Amino acid sequence: MKFPPKLKIGDKVSIISPASKIDRQIAERGAELLRQQGLRVEIGFHAFDSEDMFAGSDIARADDMQKALNDKSIRAIFFTRGGYGSLRTHLRLNWSSFFKKPKWLIGFSDITVFHAYLSRHNIASVHGVMTAWFEQDAVLTDSFLRMMELLKGEKPDCNLVPHELNRNGLASGILTGGNLSIIQSLRGTPLDISPKGKILFIEDIDEHHYHLDRMMQNLKAGGILEQLSGLVAGYFTGIKDGETPFGKTAYQIIKDSVASYHYPVAFGLQSGHELPNYPLLLGSRISLDVSENKVIIKTL
């Protein structure tokens, strides 16, 4: 696994909008907060474009990201937001310059597209907050500060409160994953998850319970779940029923989907579409230790 160089004061970073459009004020405030961390910030030329739901045309969004990928002086790319559009952007990119000198890519939600691509090419990335969540009520969020610590070289270890649905066990593996809807949408493509020896992290927002079950059954039928070394579930925010209740919660659906396997499963990681949204170093080797009294996720 390749890890980009840790960030240091004076490094140049870029802010890009590869998916849905963003309020200029939010993104510009995010840029200012990064500058306050000692970074030199360049905002993509098309970052504030608007075309229907997107931050400009596919060509414009891809042009901004391609320039950031190619620029050897840029050490990290922060994304303004997710929403929808990252796959459309990805399909227009050439990653050859990036592979020669990898840099950090930071985001979550729809940004899972880029995390999936880098995972397939054994390059680490950061599942972390985007510009709207750098601060809350004019105070820097703990999620943002922890993300900056990670980018500067700190290991993102964490302890979870034991959950009644957890499955005990000890495992190690490469951390992968992100937004479940995006992971499922990439099945059958070159960005499909490679599960063997991986610990899968999943989260989601605004789905129906039966949609969630369908996605988990897809991963089960495709042989993905059975090959994992472990599974960690983050926030499942705003999951709802249709006219007829499904009858199970999001976490119960996940537990049932992996019931026939024997690896450890942990619920309640504070990562996803809520605050705190703690950063995850995707591509790192971690240990997952789940017992009745503790859950420890440690970067090895």
Mind listing the pLDDT tens digit for each residue in 157-180? 999 999 999 999 999 999 999 999
Instruction: Look at the chain and count its residues.
Output: 300
In the prediction, which pLDDT does 288 show? 98
CB 150 within 8 A of CB 156: yes
Burial class from Cβ neighbours inside 10 Å (0-12, 13-18, 19+) for residue 276 reads middle
Q: How far apart are CA 60 and CA 21, in angstroms?
A: 12
Structure tokens at 289: 């230790």
Instruction: State the average pLDDT over residues 139-149.
Output: 98
Per-residue pLDDT tens over the stretch 46-91 = 999 999 999 999 999 999 999 999 999 999 999 999 999 999 999 9
Domains and CATH numbers, the chain: 12-151 (3.40.50.10740), 158-299 (3.50.30.60)
pTM (2 d.p.): 0.97
3-state secondary structure of 73: coil
Residue 291, pLDDT score? 98
Helix H or strand E encompassing 125: strand 125-127
**Structural Rg of the chain based on CA atoms:** 18
pLDDT of residue 45: 98
Average pLDDT rounded to a whole number, residues 191-208: 97
Give residue 159's pLDDT.
95
The per-residue pLDDT of the chain, averaged, comes to 98
